[in-house]
Each structure stands twice: as structure tokens, then as C-alpha cells.
Amino acid sequence: MQTEILPASSPDAVTYACEVLQRGGLVAFPTDTVYGVGAPAFNGKAVESVYRAKDRPVEKAIPILIGDPNDLEKVGMNIPEVARQLASRFWPGPLTLLVPKRLDLPEAVSATSTVGVRVPDHEVARALLRRAGPLAVTSANISGAQSPVTAQEVYRQLGGRIPLILDGGKTPGGVPSTLVDCTTSELKILREGPVSPEELRSALNNLE
């Protein structure tokens, strides 16, 4: 497979990326944290190919990126109030919220009853997500390797494994998002990241 690198600033970049996704191909693109590689969230076969491209263990669920906070119901259900509160404070931004997943989401996205969801604070990513709909996205690297912050770093790891990389320059964050479980009575941080525990607690205290 040949991997094409296309400047995200190209007039037809998002349209072309959507065509690749509709054909079941994978697209890597910049976010506010690191470069991600994604497939349409409701296309189980395409999501399975994300695991193959990354050599990712199949038991690891893949989070979903959405273009706007009000798209949360497209992939989640019975959204806990704490998730809505954190979304209103930190989205778009580097916070992934674990919520009950919709029953029609493929098992390839998550074999459990929950799914991680985030709205990235990046113009290229959100333009793609608004056009393509929710995407199952994980860092665009070989599983266990360094998360890439440039298109060239993506190419070094996934070149020949995916058809398209949108080059939006270096990502501003460089660190994967904070991951919070919103499905338990007590807020649980599953992965520390750019949003600190103190910021999370402060946001919830201010909303009480």
C-alpha cells in the first residue's frame, strides 16, 4: 500500500480524506494532542483495520473523536451528569470522557459497555469530524511506540500501512489526553494527561 501525505491546507484535503474513509481506508490527521489515525466509528471492518495497522492488541478499546460536544449522543447513551459538566468545561480540549456506549457501536470500538469520547481542539481535526461524523481514533503509531507529533513521524511508523496522512504541521500538545471514567459514583482518572486532577476537581466543585 502506498501512503500519501497531503497538506491539510489543500482546498480539497477534507473532502479527499472523507472519500478515503468512506472506502474503508484509514486516515491519520493532527489533533490538539498528537497525530491520530482513524476510521468511521460505525464501520466495524474499518475499525478492525486500525488494530492491524498499529499492531494494537484487540482487547484495547479505541476512543471516539467527535466534531462538537452536542454530538455526544451519537455515540453515547444515558450520559452521566458529571460527563456533561466536564464536557461543558473542557471541550474542545485534551480530555477523554468514558461514558456508556450506544448499543449499535461495533464491538471493534469497545468490547465493553463503555466508550471514550473527546472533542479535539484542532481546526483540521474538527473540520474532518464534522464532515465525516464520529471517528474511532487512536494515536498514529505502532502500538507501544512514541506517539507522533508530525506527519513525518506518522509516516516513519505507519507508512505503507495506511493510505493517507493529512499534514497539519506539528501538533501543539504532544501528550495524549487525560482519560476520566464518568460511569462510577466517584470520578476515576484512568490516564493522566494535560488536564490535571486539580483542574477536574475544581471544575466539578464550581458546578456543585
Condensed to tens digits (0 to 9), the pLDDT of residues 174-191 reads 889 999 999 988 889 999
Phi first, then psi, for residue 98 (nearest 5°) are -90, 120
- Is 2's pLDDT higher than 80? yes
Which residue in this structure is represented by grid cell 495497522? 53
Provide CB contacts within 8 A for 41, sequence distance 6+. 47, 64, 75, 105, 106, 109, 133, 134, 135, 136
Is the pLDDT at 128 greater than 60? The verdict is: yes
**Cell numbers that stand for 111 in this block:** 468490547
Among the listed ranges 118-132, 160-174, 193-207, which one has the minimum average pLDDT value? 193-207
- What mean pLDDT is predicted for residues 161-167? 98
Rounded to an integer, the average pLDDT of 134-149 is 96
DSSP one-letter code for 135: E
pTM, entire model: 0.95
Q: What is the mean pLDDT of residues 126-149?
A: 97
Euclidean distance between CA atoms 107 and 195, whole angstroms: 29
Task: Write out pLDDT tens, residues 71-114.
Answer: 999 999 999 999 999 999 999 999 999 999 999 999 999 999 99
Is residue 208 scored above 70 in pLDDT? no
**Whether residue 52 has pLDDT greater than 70:** yes
The dihedral over CA atoms of 35, 41, 46, 48, expressed in degrees to the nearest 10, equals 90
So what's the pLDDT on residue 59? 87
DSSP code of residue 75: T
Q: How much is the pLDDT for 58?
A: 87
d(CA 69, CA 88): 8
All domains in the chain, ordered by first residue: 4-207 (3.90.870.10)
Question: Distance (Å, rounded) from C-alpha 53 to C-alpha 72?
Answer: 27
What is residue 16's three-state secondary structure?
helix
pLDDT at 207: 57
Q: What gap in Å lies between CA 3 and CA 136, rounded to an integer?
A: 20
**Host H or E run for residue 203:** helix 197-207
